[in-house]
Structure 1
Amino acid sequence: MSSHLEILAILTSAVLIVWLFRRLHLPAILAYLVAGMLVGEHGLALAHEHVDYEHFAELGIVFLLFTLGLEFSLPKLMAMRHLVVAVGSLQVGISLIVFLIIALFLGQSFASSLVIGGILALSSTAIVIRQLSETGAMKRKSGQIAVAVLLFQDVAVVPLLIIIPMFAQDSDTSMIYALLFALVKGVFVVGILLSVGKWVLPRLFNLVAQVRTDELFVLTTLLVTLVASALTQWFGLSMALGAFLAGMMLGESQYKHQLEADIRPYRDILLGLFFVTVGMKLNLAVLFASPFTMFSLLIGFMLVKILVIKSLAIKAGEQTKDAWASAIMLAQMGEFGFVLIALATQVNILPPDIASLLLGVGVISMAITPYMIDHARQMGLWLSNEQPDDTQELSTLPNNNELKDHVIICGFGRIGQTVSRFLKQEAIDFVAIDIDPLRTTKAREAGENVLFGSSRQNELLEAAHLSTAKLVVIAFGQDKQSIDVIQKVRSMSPDVPILVRTRNDDQLDALQEAGANQVVPESLEGSLMLVSQVLSLTGVPFSRIMRRVQKERKNHYNHLHGFFQGEHTDMSPDAIDRIEFANAIIITDDSFCVGHSLKSLNLQSRRVNVVALRRDGVEIEEPEDDVILKVQDTLVVRGKPRRVERFERYMQEGR
């Protein structure tokens, strides 16, 4: 098969399988591994010469380490140093030694055993952090322990990437001497890169930023990453180490977020290719030939990691339930394990059958990780035989007075607290519900009526006396969770008014359909406040301004929906279904709609709205339905992008 057909096969399988896996809410990493397994020599054999792709795939690891370096910050490390040192470092060390001894006992060489120990000791930063962020568990103590351990594991990858190639060198020098020599070279390279990062790179990026050309900024980012990785490779160290150092140098700069955004598309594509090449090495025949061995290894290494992390967390002074929960979250094998497998296979340290076994175990462990993270808290409570919450007393109101005609505030962050202060000034009772235990404790110490827990729980809403409340305010601004809370509140109290805060108007209709009486989009309210100030400063009477503002709110911000798209408008699949565009349709001699009235065009059935009609240089706002369209008219409409496109085609062609 020619090379371009091989690439076509790889891309086709990757697209289809990633789409399927995302629909099933499984990590994209697993999809790339399965795609590689499908097209590889052990699958359908559609791509044979996968060695050619590995040179490109290595760049995925380079960019991954660069973004990791951007996230790595010494202040963050110092703030979490107790957990990082007491749990993270010991977890990597102890787990690695345990797995190394077991591998030696099973007949592996020292080099192979060390690699296996390093692979199994690491967990998946990508999956765990993403899952913790989505579920809101990052703020819990168990989530903080998991992040601290992952932080050290990410750093521990770097020395492993240095050590593994050394085993392949035919040299009489001892490993200790080689490591010391590598350390000296490493210190020298780090010194060079840090000096460059401190004195040269800030000036370079300042010059590039002044040009205001996105392409040049991206090219400079790529150049810095690749030069740093080439420098470390020239000194006999890992390319990934140079990329990590480059990222760390730029991590404290003002350009950090822009750099990460620029590098992400290249990282994701090349990293996907890397995992495809890893999947090509996965031999299902080896797995099916020894399923007992595979599942024994899977259960065994996960149990060892769970027990090690749990024991270390308890010794560090954490509660038993948090120790169990964080250990369960980190039981899987990580994406850097696949990096080490690929590196060790390239230098012939890891036997192919062992590599396939580890790949299979890693894929399965990562597939079950989302489920384990979702249920880690319940498992931790069950294993520790503790009460459902160490903050159970926070789930009852400080004073048990019967509340009536009060306001329930779901989410006691900055917005929720601002609402509560104004309610107190008007002597209106309120009860707040918040999922952050520290915030809840601090607020209760200050005498606030705050409950700890999720606003989606029946027990919390009952404890907040929902049945006698006069208003529910959902203040946390996350639309998906807000819809869940609205539905829960409506199921318990069909008539209570619900006011929802949202960041923009993307989910305005969905929130109202779920049962919200009023939705307050921050972006649109901010626009209204700005408009009020503009009109006031230009001399418009305050009473007229208030009437206009109230009219907009009453009409659900009708004039504020839809906008003209720009170069940087988010046109991703997720965004395209939410946003509304404004679009100007110029009517020509050949347009179908000439001589037709707006009413005859069935605007409602086509689900678009007319914003204005421009005729002879005059703009008619919200024209009447009986207006007849003429040549050279410009009709400004708004709606979902696809509906606007279909409506424009209908106006021009009549179909």
Structure 2
Amino acid sequence: MNGLIVSLDFFPKTWLLGVASEGETSENSALILAAVLLSLVVIYFASKLGGELCARINLPPVLGELVGGVVIGVSVLKFLVFPESGATAADSLIMQLLGLTADLSPEAAESIFATQSEAISILAELGVIILLFEIGLESDLKELIRVGPQAAVVAVVGVTIPFALGTAGLLYLFNLPTIPAIFAGAALTATSIGITAKVLAEIGYLSSREGQIIIGAAVLDDILGIIILAVVASLVKTGEIQVTNIIYLIISAGTFLIGTILLGRLLIPFFVGLVNEMKTRGQLLITSLIFALLLSYIANIIQLEAILGAFAAGLVLAETEKRQELEEQIIPVADILVPIFFVCVGARTDLSVLNPGVPSNREGLIIASFLIVVAILGKVVAGFAAFGQEKLNKLAIGVGMVPRGEVGLVFAGVGSASGALSPATDAAIIVMVIVTTFIAPPFLRIVFREKASETADASAKSSDEV
């Protein structure tokens, strides 16, 4: 968290992540804040413009936020770029604008750029944490438990089929080495719970049985994805799978989720009583955020995703009498932070890998075409694995599991950093992530709308017969 800097004189200069070293003044601190503020202006403008345009052509606003991010990111205008993509301060249009108002040395510019990027990244992470907390609040724990077996089947099938088909295809059709094939196959197992949950909330299907199965399966997918990533990363480093790591992750994930829900239910009366006794403004919201951030921290330090802690906190607090009031109070917080997350996902998306005119991209695009087919079909088939209830919209469940989003990019990033992936394979994974992330929101809306139309027609027909 040391990259999130505010311009206050009492902060030690050494907190500025290498920006303010000995002999430097607080000027760099002010410039970091200026860069972050300018970044937020650009992010909010892009999110609103993109969201409004998509809303007017009947597409999910979250898709507009993703597209807005692409426009201001590394692919087009380069307002918002990040060092991990290989960008420097000279590549950032925000840093260039900042340079017009201040005399920056190349070293100072790079340091400010690094800290500004980290600050925005942390705000984006907070955005997805708040999003999952909000989704947990809007979810029904009893319904999630009821659909638990169905969600588990969907998650396991949705992980197993893409992983097996992807790995086998890369090994035998494209003759890739074993470790890169396994890594690419593992990237196919991911599901971006944030993107799907936002779309479900926008179209009013988050609380539906299908929506709860999707959310439950996506949460399990996250856990399975963490385990698979740990296994594959271990395979890359040591050449062998460390069984103890797998056992640790499985036990810690299960203990955390089940323990949090059981303990949370016991503490609900204490929580409500505490909030009722407090006299200061924002007592419910702040107390709830303390609980959510604490669980996110615990999840993070035991090598799980912080968003799982936030989601669990939302589920627990949804069981209290304060649920509706808290839902209303968390909305403005989500409106401030969540768009940063989606815009950053889009900004990090490098569309240059889609250019077939670059010879080095062609092999990657061929492999990507295969990965995209497996990525979509694997999750759609998983949706049809949901058993019970003939009227269940299984196609919608499958489509809801399709987007890989930031989770898929994590796999690509780890694989690239470890040296396990060739440039072509790395590009192929990124293309797969881009396509699945952008096609899922509109298709999810279509499949739910068609199901609703069929239900309405059947009801009308039944009424006419009566």
Tell me, yes or no, whether TM beats 0.5: yes
Runs (5+) with no aligned partner, structure 1? 382-387, 399-655
Q: Hey, what's the Cα distance between the residues in 2 that align with 1:297 and 1:186?
A: 29
The equivalent position to 1:35 in structure 2, one of 68, 71, 93, is: 68
Residue 20 (str. 1) matches residue 20 (str. 2): no
Q: Which moved more, 1:95-104 or 1:11-20?
A: 95-104
The equivalent position to 1:373 in structure 2, one of 439, 445, 448, is: 448
Report the structure number with the largest CA radius of gyration.
1
Who is 1:116 aligned against?
Answer: 188
Q: Hey, what's the Cα distance between the residues in 2 that align with 1:132 and 1:390?
A: 21
Structure 1 residue 360 displacement after superposition: 2.6
Structure 1 residue 280 displacement after superposition: 1.6
Q: Hey, what's the Cα distance between the residues in 2 that align with 1:338 and 1:196?
A: 32
Change (3 A) 1:347 1:13: same
The equivalent position to 1:282 in structure 2, one of 349, 360, 371, is: 349
Change (3 A) 1:371 1:14: same
TM-score, length-normalised on structure 2? Answer: 0.67
Counterpart of 1:185 in 2: which secondary structure?
Answer: helix
Who is 2:102 aligned against?
Answer: none
Q: Hey, what's the Cα distance between the residues in 1 that align with 2:255 and 2:452?
A: 45
Change (3 A) 1:228 1:365: closer
The equivalent position to 1:250 in structure 2, one of 297, 317, 324, is: 317
Structure 1 residue 120 displacement after superposition: 9.0
| Alignment coverage as a number of residue pairs | 377
Residue 272 (str. 1) matches residue 339 (str. 2): yes
Change (3 A) 1:209 1:288: farther
Counterpart of 1:395 in 2: which secondary structure?
Answer: helix
Q: Hey, what's the Cα distance between the residues in 1 that align with 2:324 and 2:148?
A: 24
Q: Hey, what's the Cα distance between the residues in 1 that align with 2:168 and 2:66?
A: 29
Structure 1 residue 246 displacement after superposition: 2.2
Change (3 A) 1:221 1:172: farther
Who is 1:59 aligned against?
Answer: 126
Who is 2:39 aligned against?
Answer: 6
Who is 2:106 aligned against?
Answer: none
Change (3 A) 1:390 1:369: closer
The equivalent position to 1:327 in structure 2, one of 383, 392, 395, is: 395
Paired residue type of 1:153: A
Q: Hey, what's the Cα distance between the residues in 1 that align with 2:447 and 2:154?
A: 20
The equivalent position to 2:213 in structure 1, one of 148, 160, 179, is: 148
Structure 1 residue 15 displacement after superposition: 2.5
Q: Hey, what's the Cα distance between the residues in 2 that align with 1:211 and 1:101?
A: 59
Counterpart of 1:6 in 2: which secondary structure?
Answer: helix
Change (3 A) 1:241 1:172: farther
The equivalent position to 1:339 in structure 2, one of 402, 406, 415, is: 406
RMSD between aligned alpha carbons? 3.9
Who is 2:222 aligned against?
Answer: 157
Structure 1 residue 126 displacement after superposition: 3.2
Q: Which moved more, 1:340-349 or 1:121-130?
A: 121-130
Change (3 A) 1:53 1:165: farther
Residue by residue, what CA displacement relative to the aligned partner does 1:264-300 show, whole Å, maximum 9, x if unpaired?
Answer: 3333432221121211222222224267776665566
Residue 358 (str. 1) matches residue 358 (str. 2): no
Map 1:549-568; keep pairs closer than 5 Å. none
Counterpart of 2:399 in 1: which secondary structure?
Answer: coil
Structure 1 residue 205 displacement after superposition: 3.7
Identity %: 20
Counterpart of 1:330 in 2: which secondary structure?
Answer: helix
The equivalent position to 2:270 in structure 1, one of 195, 203, 208, is: 203
Change (3 A) 1:166 1:365: same
Who is 2:246 aligned against?
Answer: 179
Change (3 A) 1:397 1:75: same
Q: Hey, what's the Cα distance between the residues in 2 that align with 1:309 and 1:390?
A: 23
CA contact (8 A) 2:371 2:429 kept: no
CA contact (8 A) 1:99 1:120 kept: no
Q: Hey, what's the Cα distance between the residues in 2 that align with 1:100 and 1:119?
A: 18
Paired residue type of 1:151: G
Structure 1 residue 147 displacement after superposition: 4.7
Who is 1:511 aligned against?
Answer: none
Counterpart of 1:252 in 2: which secondary structure?
Answer: coil
Runs (5+) with no aligned partner, structure 2? 1-33, 83-116, 357-361
TM-score, length-normalised on structure 1? Answer: 0.49
Who is 1:302 aligned against?
Answer: 376
Q: Hey, what's the Cα distance between the residues in 1 that align with 2:253 and 2:149?
A: 26
Question: Greater share of helix residues, 1 or 2?
Answer: 2
Who is 2:199 aligned against?
Answer: 127
Paired residue type of 2:441: M
Who is 2:302 aligned against?
Answer: 235
Question: Greater share of strand residues, 1 or 2?
Answer: 1
